[in-house]
Structure 1
């Protein structure tokens, strides 16, 4: 197996949809910018074509940031699976703690950076991540997300 650094250019050239188990139009992240074993940086841009865009504000309400953060976590899990030649596992957002919204919306024609850092991931698939969304070095929203990842889809969906 090649090192993460050796695989990084290949991974960063792929569309986010290869690592996030969603289909269009629910893949919200536009691009994976960087990652390592326990963290990931991604970007998304807001436009009138963006999912959850509201013309009356014009933008996306900041509470949707939880989903951007969750998709960044899913992208890191997808990259981990790719690195060991495994399929992407099913993941669930279990809860959000300490959600802080520093502005009401993500503004039209702006690009935002999602940063996630794993706090822990145990053998059962339970994990916690420290997450933030920033723009121009200013935090727009932050939260700790609790997640669950499993490869046994039949147990959960029956």
Structure 2
């Protein structure tokens, strides 16, 4: 079993992923329970914020699979085809995030197809681009 808090640099209420349900070399499924947090507005978790849960799930995926990456930093580069099918979620809702690798290059750039489900019903999906450089590339960027 994975301890999510040790796999991403977030802490406290900023950790939105609660559990790794499944992970392999090309995909991850995580679970997030919507809790009272700074993300709650008038008792609701607005679904556009699912992008952060998807991104954190990808950080967990990378930490589980790539020990050469600089797990303390990753960049959400962009999001395409973001579709919201349910405008908000509520405290206590359990969300499953299913992310699959679409492309990955040597530099650490990758694109992942992500879907979020509530009770097996699709509530949002997106194609997310991230950059998770290896330690050498990160040092090169910092020194540029």
The answer to whether the superposition gives a TM-score over 0.5 is yes
* 1:71 partnered with 2:56: yes
1:62-101 deviation per Cα after TM superposition (whole angstroms, max 9, x unaligned) = 001001000111001011135x7x7625211000000000
Report the equivalent of 1:81.
66
**1:157 to partner: Cα distance:** 4.2
The answer (yes or no) to whether the contact 2:34–2:92 under 8 Å persists in 1 is: yes
Q: Report how far residue 136 of structure 1 moved.
A: 1.3
Counterparts of 1:107 and 1:134 in 2: how far apart (Å)? 13
TM-score by length of 2: 0.89
CA contact 1:46–1:111 (8 Å) conserved in 2: yes
Count matched residues: 141
Distance (Å, rounded) in 2 between the aligned partners of 1:59 and 1:77: 29
Structure 1 distance, partners of 2:92, 2:86, is 16
Q: Distance in 2 between matches of 1:60 and 1:104?
A: 9
TM-score, structure 1 as length reference? 0.81
Aligned with 2:40 (options 53, 59, 68):
53
What residue number does 1:104 align with?
87
What's 2:112 paired with? Answer: 129
Unaligned runs of 5+ in 1: 1-11
Q: What does residue 139 of structure 1 align with?
A: 122
